[in-house]
Chains A and B, each alone.
Chain A
Amino acid sequence: MTKSTTILRQLLAGSEPIRAPGVVDCIGARIVAKEGFEAIYMTGAGTTASRLGWPDVGLLTMTEMADNAQRIAEASGLPVVADADTGYGGPLNVQRTVRAYERAGVAALHIEDQCWPKRCGHLDGKTLIPVDVMVSHIRAACDARHDQDFVVIARTDAIAVEGFEAALERAKRYEEAGADVLFVEAPRDMTQLATIPKHLKKPSLFNMAASGKTPFLSVEEIKALGFKLILYPNFMMLAAIPAMHKVLQELKRTGSVKGLVNEVASFQDFFNLLGMDDVKALEEKYLTNEESRVRY
């Protein structure tokens, strides 16, 4: 079986952009796989929301992120691109992060040049580490991987702090330091978006965030600009929020869930999504006759 890192490398070498919808848990992971997407993204903002109920201001630890990434990799079976924030410290911490993510079965991670504790890339109030420090983090990350196909994505948050020119310059430096994919966070307009992939030799990442700071473009438009990897970090989670409110409001209003039955996934669909057929096949293979008789 081809490793997920190799699959991601092959996808990056192809002509079509890779679409990686963002998820926070295994339900999302199963849905992305079922819908036939070629890759999946673990969002840090979403993981923080899911595990702590807090906003994305650098509160989760590396071990919590790696644990979540491992579950998503396992449940989706897809190449996982995972948010690794700043790498969680100095170059030694970055190396520990890369190894932990590699062991988790992740195919790519992105590390960024913010000071710790970081903030969501589309929030105000970000601060940056010096460019040479970030360059050493990238070098440390690339050296740490055991699997040479593991993809190191360098992200710069510099547009909001130092301006677009400085961000491009940083991306260039990170590319020279060995990063495989470049992620210039939160571009503001079409001119900036058109400039990024042209300025770099290696593949560029497009982050289709929900904040509105980056224009909402179609896959075709993003492809035409020259981006190779597209993240949709939070749309699935954001879609679930009004749906969950609706269930609870309906319950409060009518005192029953009856009116919702046709709007939610059926019990059958839910178990199908989670691979009940696979479980049944395993039971047929391994249960003793007596166990099967008692159970069914």
Chain B
Amino acid sequence: MSKAKILRNQLAASDMLIAPGAYDAIGAKLIEQAGFPLVYMTGAGTSASLGYPDYGLLTMSEMVEKAGILARSVQVPVICDADTGYGNELNMIRTVREFESRGVAGIHIEDQVMPKRCGHLDNKEIEPLEKYVSKLRAAVDARQDPDFLIIARTDSRASLGFEEAIRRGNAALEAGADLIFIEAPQTMEEVQAIPRLINGPCLLNVVQGGKTPEINLKDAQSMGFKVSILPGILLRAAVNIFDQVLDSVKKEHTVPAFLNNATPHQNFRRFGADQWDELRRCYASESQSAVKENQ
């Protein structure tokens, strides 16, 4: 069964899917090991992992390469940020094919003018609705696997208002989008209204310190959202802990004790050492007989 099909089946079940955000294979594997059914590849995190802010500086090829790494690292489906689709209808077609060929289960595409900005920043420029709809139609037609999920994101709330954002969400559904992502609603009333006003499944973006008020995920589920993404949680956690550890080494000239609780091999087991050890045993040859067991 394709990852896209697995995701479709998950969406058909009643519970809301919670997808923490990853920007590398470490994050993706930890998300899977923690028991989440879905991994989200964050564009902001991916930009940061390449040393850039989320200012639309990454190319589609860089995003696709990272997406492929995430998708091959976990068994659960991966959905990805695909920004604006990186151009017009033709670029959109190439974008869908590239992500799909990397084993990704779905992508979200937004109506910002390229180069885009993070959804929770100011001064976003929005494409005309007609243009956005034609790009979504191209995306829907471009997928080879009909289960590949096209997630339509609209950034129009900030400059065009909530009503326009809802209108765009419903227009995206009519164009064939599978899941609607209204970016950065500004009040709890707006958040609540989204699943009611959109005539199809909705995604909620949970951003810390952004334009949307804090929300409990149980409430999001009872409001009727089908997917919640938490793009920044692991990056934020990593930045905090990295700072702490570096600060400690610098000041104390010693590695913090809590980092010494696992052997190297115990760490490797989080990244598939058991499966690779099994393969080594399976293919061990006479001349290279003794399989070295790592401890």
Q: Does B200 contact A (CB under 8 A)?
A: no
Is B148's CB within 8 Å of the partner chain A? no
Tell whether B57 is near chain A: CB-to-CB under 8 Å.
yes
Please name all residues of chain A whose beta carbon is closer than 8 Å to the beta carbon of B176 when the two chains form the complex: none
Task: Tell yes or no: B88 within 8 A of A by CB.
Answer: yes
**Which residues from chain B contact A90 at a C-beta distance below 8 Å?**
56, 115
Q: How far is the CA of A96 from the CA of B87 in the complex (A)?
A: 18
Min distance, Cβ B64 to any Cβ of chain A, angstroms: 9
Q: Which of B60-119 contact A (CB under 8 A)?
A: 60-62, 86-88, 90-91, 94, 114-115
Distance to closest chain B CB from A145 (angstroms): 17
- Please tell me if B268 contacts chain A, counting CB pairs below 8 Å: no
Give the complex CA separation of A57 and B52 in angstroms.
27
Contact partner of A63 (CB less than 8 A), chosen from B61, B91, B114, is B61
Q: Which residue of A lies closest to B56 (CB)?
A: A89
Cβ 8 A contact of B90, one of A88, A93, A117: A117
| Tally of contact residues, B, Cβ under 8 A | 16
Residues of the B chain whose Cβ atoms lie less than 8 Å from the Cβ of A89: 56-57, 114-115
Q: Is A61 close to B, CB under 8 A?
A: yes
Contact with B along A73-94 (1 / 0, CB 8 A): 0000000000000001110110
Majority secondary structure, B binding face: loop
Q: In the complex the two chains form, is B56's CB within 8 Å of A61's CB?
A: no
B54 to chain A, nearest CB (A): 12
Residue in A63, A93, A117 whose CB lies within 8 Å of B115: A93
Kindly state whether residue B55 has any CB partner on chain A within 8 Å.
Answer: yes
The answer to whether the Cβ of B59 comes within 8 Å of any Cβ in the partner chain is yes
A117 and B59 contacting across the interface, CB-CB below 8 Å: no
User: A168 interface residue, CB < 8 Å from B?
Assistant: no
Instruction: Indicate the member of B59, B90, B114, B115 with the most A CB atoms within 10 Å.
Output: B59
Which of A59, A61, A88, A92 is within 8 Å of B55, CB to CB? A92
| Complex contact A117–B61 (CB within 8 A) | no
**A58 contacts B by Cβ under 8 Å:** yes
Q: Does A164 contact B (CB under 8 A)?
A: no
Cα-based distance from A72 to B164 in the complex (angstroms): 49
Establish whether residues A63 and B87, one from each chain, have CB atoms under 8 Å apart when the complex forms: no
A59, B94: Cβ atoms under 8 Å? yes
Q: Is the CB of A116 within 8 A of B61?
A: no
Is there an interface contact between A59 and B62, defined as CB atoms closer than 8 Å?
A: no
Q: Look across to chain B and name the residue whose beta carbon is closest to the beta carbon of A61.
A: B59
Minimum C-beta distance from A70 to chain B (A): 14
Q: Are B57 and A93 in contact (CB under 8 A)?
A: yes
> In this assembly, does A62 line the interface, its C-beta being within 8 Å of a C-beta of chain B?
yes
Q: Which single residue of chain B is at the shortest CB-CB distance from A89? A: B115
Interface string of B19-48 (1 = CB under 8 A from A): 000000000000000000000000000000
Residues from chain A with a CB closer than 8 A to the CB of B114 are 89, 116
Contacts of B59 in A (CB 8 A): 61-64, 88
Of the residues B52, B57, B62, B91, contact of A117 by C-beta under 8 Å: B91
A117 and B88 within 8 A (CB): yes
Q: Is the Cβ of B60 less than 8 Å from the Cβ of A61? A: yes
Additional pairs, 16, CB under 8 Å, beyond known A90-B56, A92-B57: A52-B94, A57-B90, A59-B87, A59-B94, A61-B59, A61-B60, A61-B86, A63-B59, A63-B61, A89-B56, A89-B114, A90-B115, A116-B114, A117-B87, A117-B90, A117-B91
Chain B interfacial positions (CB closer than 8 Å to A): 52, 55-57, 59-62, 86-88, 90-91, 94, 114-115
Q: What are 9 A-to-B residue pairs whose CB atoms are below 8 Å?
A: A52-B94, A61-B60, A61-B61, A61-B62, A63-B62, A64-B61, A89-B114, A92-B55, A92-B115
**Chain A contact residues, CB within 8 Å of chain B:** 52, 57-59, 61-64, 88-90, 92-93, 96, 116-117
